Amino acid sequence: MRRGIAALALVASLAPAATACGAGDSGGDRAAGPVTLTWWDTSNATNEAPTYRALVEEFEAAHQDIRVKYVNVPFDQARNKFDTAAGAAGAPDVLRSEVGWTPAFAKKGYFLPLDGTAALADRDAFRPSLITQAQYDGRTYGVPLVTDTLALVCNRALFRQAGLTAAPRTWDELKSAAARIKERTGADGYWGSTAGYYAQPFLHGEGTDTVDTAAKKITVDSPAAEKGYGTWLSLFSGKGLHRADTTADAYAHIQDAFVNGKVAAIVQGPWEITNFYRGTAFKNKADLGIAPVPAGSTGEAGAPTGGHNLSVYAGSDRAHQEAALKFVDFMTSAKSQETVALKNSTLPTRADAYTAQVRADPGIAGFQSVLAAARPRPALPEYGSLWAPLDTELPKVASGKESLDEGLANARLAIAKLVPDFGE
């Protein structure tokens, strides 16, 4: 009861200031009849959205005074679309927000602080690192809905045929395994990506990142980063190592090769688990192996933490915010997260959602086991944009159109424009 009173008090105190941001067509503080929320869901429309639609129906059945207008917004359009809507009018009451968007939208005042509200009543049930990643400037602006990270995903059948019983622990071990797999099975051992996000484990393996937020320095071309990217580059040439694919359809090419047994290992995230199982190589789900990304010279393995939070629009009126808090609480509950995990094979964000039935999925169990190697993203509003320069430069480096030094120098210049207050 105290939590509920505190939640209402907090929302009431914030509502006048929040409305100044642009409240769309929500109306006054108290709507007549049921309150209708608008939820922008950014999940995959084919594989994931049906599960969320079903949960919306469950929520409405349990809350006769709240209706939910469900809108599936393509992920690659959602950030800009919400930014435009929130800065004017017509933003949704609830957004399924990628974790990297949180600092930027919180800084602009578009997200409602959720500390002490009903949406975070079960705060202690969530992984602490995921709560931290939903924060900006000491406040929490999202409730973790699903999480993810990158892992070394392996075809165990091909590894067995090559006489390999364990996943590579270092990038050098991966090179050796790739050569052996090629020799004994004819399949490629590893196919890497040229995308900036997928190169992130090579930086973490050297104990660095694109920027040092504490020191406010750009580190994308530091000696440690250059070493990491050098290792990344070396995995595109050699026996059993697939050459770099810099085409627009590279992601699909890599995925198709893996699920159909043409390559034994890739770096990938849990959002592809259901697609793995559809491939000819994984009719037996037990043949899907999940291991931490290989370690760099520091001896540590590290991969970026991804996922999505549910955030409440600060520009909605009080009645819609109160309803939105109830909706977020329901959608992020242990029961709802278990349902999502079982239907979509995505990773829950709270320990009590990893039931025996959920853990029976080898993909989920495997990715859960590598979460310890996930590195939270810095609370830097511009951080999610820092991979874009690398998406431009790394394919040029991988294809030999420019040297690694040239590519990182160009990336540094582009990143400097995004974080102009960061120096050497």
172 CB-contact burial (10 Å; exposed 0-12 / middle 13-18 / buried 19+)? middle
pLDDT at residue 16 tops 70? no
Query: Are both 95 and 240 inside the same structural domain?
Result: no
pLDDT at residue 19 tops 80? no
Q: What is the mean pLDDT of residues 29-38?
A: 74
Query: Are both 30 and 158 inside the same structural domain?
Result: no
R_g over Cα of the chain: 22
The answer for residues whose C-beta is within 8 angstroms of residue 114's C-beta and 6 or more apart is: 120, 140, 141, 142, 143, 311, 312, 325, 328
The answer to whether residue 424 is domain-embedded is no
Query: Tens digits of per-residue pLDDT, 320-335?
Result: 999 999 999 999 999 9
Q: What is the mean pLDDT of residues 362-375?
A: 93
Which domain covers residue 272, as residue numbers?
Answer: 149-304+378-418
Query: Tens digits of per-residue pLDDT, 393-406?
Result: 999 999 999 999 99
pLDDT at residue 420 tops 70? yes
CA 122 remoteness from chain centre: 22
CATH number of the domain that residue 40 is part of: 3.40.190.10
- In 3D space, the residue among 149, 236, 229, 227 whose CA is nearest the CA of residue 189 turns out to be 236
Query: Are both 138 and 156 inside the same structural domain?
Result: no
Residue 135, beta-bridge partner list: 140
Query: Are both 257 and 173 inside the same structural domain?
Result: yes
Query: Are both 287 and 312 inside the same structural domain?
Result: no
Distance of alpha carbon 363 from alpha carbon 250, whole angstroms? 23
Tell me which of 148-152, 178-182, 270-274 is least confident.
270-274
Please name the helix (run of DSSP H) or strand (run of DSSP E) that holds residue 332, with its range, or none: none
Question: Which amino acid, 374?
Answer: A
